[in-house]
A = this chain, B = another copy of it.
Amino acid sequence: MCGIVGVFGHRPVSQVIYDSLSMLQHRGQDAAGIATSFLNRFYLHKGNGLVTEVFDVASMAKLLGDMGIGHVRYPTAGCGSVAEAQPFYVNSPHGIVFAHNGNLTNVDEIIETVFEKDLRHLNTTSDSEVMLNVFAHALGKRDAIRPTPEDVFAAVEDTHSLCKGGYAVVAMISTVGIVAFRDLHGIRPLVYGQRTIHGRTDYMVASESVALQVDGFELVRDLEPGECLFIDIHGKLHTYKTKLPHTNAPCLFEFVYLARPDSVLDGASVYQCRINMGDKLADKILREWPDVKIDAVVPIPSTSRTSAIEIANRLGIPYREGFVRNRYVGRTFIMPGNEQRKASIRRKLNPIPQEFKDKNVLLVDDSIVRGNTIKEIIAMTRELGAKNVYVCSASPMVIYPNVYGIDMPSRAELVASGKTLDELAEEIGADKVIFQDLEDLKQSVTECAPHLTEFEGSVFDGHYITGDVTEEYLRALEKQRNDATKINEDVTSHITRNLAAHL
């Protein structure tokens, strides 16, 4: 998961992009980057860390120009290489900087069939660098000294033809303009907004609507699946709807966990969707656990709070914030004297003892993936004297890996995979567990956005909308990930040995 933004203004845009990236920081805290364009030059600054750590007065002052793009990166797969932050740059053709959120499912194939032919070099393992080169190659084939909207749209259409997966892209072409597009199934989110100052209209595209508001942009709408937005160098907006087969199937997990509650995605208020999830889950609890006695509804901070409040309301049981999140967890320095440190999750959450002592508690989480967190939390509540610990999840069981840019591990690591409810409850130490039904989850969203009829929910039901993800694919992927990890480790170990020689 990553966050992207692109801005065309009639005034310097570096601060606006910086602000927007701050609002998208929840989508990636690992690295950040901004590229702007002034005359025929790009100005690029990127680095590892939070937006506030990467940018300072000096670096901001150098980001000249009235158009630019930005990116925040999540530490793991889905945004590619740890080696380099985005945006990426290629100088042929025209000069293009490029940032993306998502993941391709056919990278190997693309590299084989296209790159061998096009002789392009990739210096990272990032999908973004692959996509950038596919797009650059497609645009180059147009052989236009000054690309028109048609050239840009044709290149995007070529890119769609070649690239399978879930992705949202923003790119900037030197002296040409800003391009943004979304995959053919609308899996990864992308919205755009505008503001008018002194009669001139500025545009912003961004991963989520919250990025718009901070500097006065108003949400126009989401990009449609496969749609391309192009703002030319004169500030004129062009849009193009794909002629390729497409469907509208946004990622369910954005509503469950990824997006901020104050965002509106594909017409649905994420906050309201989560309230609805609480409603429906409460109904199921009432239905299926008629005799279960619950004293308090306790959210696992922070995402599940919205649903948990509504569950408590619906069940008529007190809502209690039994855990306090520690915002400032520091790192662990491997030094003598650390033997007594607690498990990582216990450094992140502190319980309020009296909310658990002799109580029957219903813990609410947005989802259960690897299960480590919930297991440790349940253990904590037991130690504090909880009588019964029930667990409910605002989303269904996660039992399949994600291949569209969310870091969900192989099936072996998904705690719910291959287990019955009872087996799972035992595994995590709960007295009982209950999960949202998939249909209810979908309805939680469609109640807010009735035009949505399809979703990307493969982690719940194994249905991969791009059609190219087979059992063989998943097995190969797993093996390949291991191999890639090994090569990365090899390089890292080279570097480490070099450093170690100095001690």
Contact = CB atoms under 8 A, between A and B. Distances in A.
A260 interface: yes
Range, interface on chain A: 35 or more
A16 to B, nearest CB: 7
A335 B116 contact: no
A170 interface: no
Interface string A246-261: 0000000000000011
Given A91-B120, A335-B61, A337-B13, A216 B319 contact: no
Contacts of A144: 119
A226 B107 CA distance: 42
B491 A496 contact: no
A501 B487 CA distance: 22
A7 to B, nearest CB: 10
Interface string A154-176: 00000000000000000000100
A45 to B, nearest CB: 12
Given A57-B333, A333-B60, A352-B262, A120 B145 contact: no
Contacts of A145: 116, 119
A450 interface: no
A62 interface: yes
Contacts of A291: none
A95 B119 CA distance: 8
Contacts of A58: 499
Contacts of A326: 22-23
A451 interface: no
A293 interface: no
A494 B36 CA distance: 14
A494 B19 CA distance: 21
A25 interface: yes
A213 B26 CA distance: 28
Contacts of A324: 260-262, 271
Q: How many copies does the complex hold?
A: 4
Nearest to A66: B337
A337 B9 contact: yes
A341 B352 CA distance: 39
Nearest to A173: B121
A43 to B, nearest CB: 9
Contact of A494 (B64, B140, B197, B271): B64
Interface string A10-21: 011111101101
Contacts of A52: 328, 330-331
Contacts of A321: 305-306, 309
Contacts of A305: 321
Contact of A15 (B14, B62, B335, B491): B335
Nearest to A124: B41
A333 B497 CA distance: 12
A372 to B, nearest CB: 19
Contact of A342 (B41, B61, B214, B309): B214
B341 A15 contact: yes
Interface string A468-500: 000000000000000000010001001111111
Nearest to A142: B119
B352 A261 contact: yes
A313 B312 CA distance: 10
A230 B171 CA distance: 37
A65 B430 CA distance: 43
A423 interface: no
27 contacts: A11-B336, A12-B336, A12-B337, A15-B335, A15-B338, A18-B333, A19-B341, A21-B330, A22-B328, A41-B124, A41-B491, A52-B330, A52-B331, A66-B337, A90-B92, A91-B123, A92-B118, A92-B121, A92-B133, A94-B121, A210-B350, A213-B350, A309-B320, A313-B318, A333-B501, A336-B498, A496-B503
8 nearest interchain CB pairs? A95-B121, A61-B498, A93-B119, A12-B337, A11-B337, A25-B328, A334-B501, A22-B330
Given A38-B494, A215-B342, A216-B340, 4 more contacts: A26-B328, A90-B92, A119-B145, A335-B501
Interface of A: 9, 11-16, 18-19, 21-23, 25-26, 38-42, 50-53, 55, 57-58, 60-62, 64, 66, 89-96, 116, 118-124, 133, 136, 140, 143-145, 174, 195, 197, 210, 213-216, 260-262, 269, 271-272, 305-306, 309, 313, 318-321, 324, 326-342, 347, 350-352, 354, 487, 491, 494-503
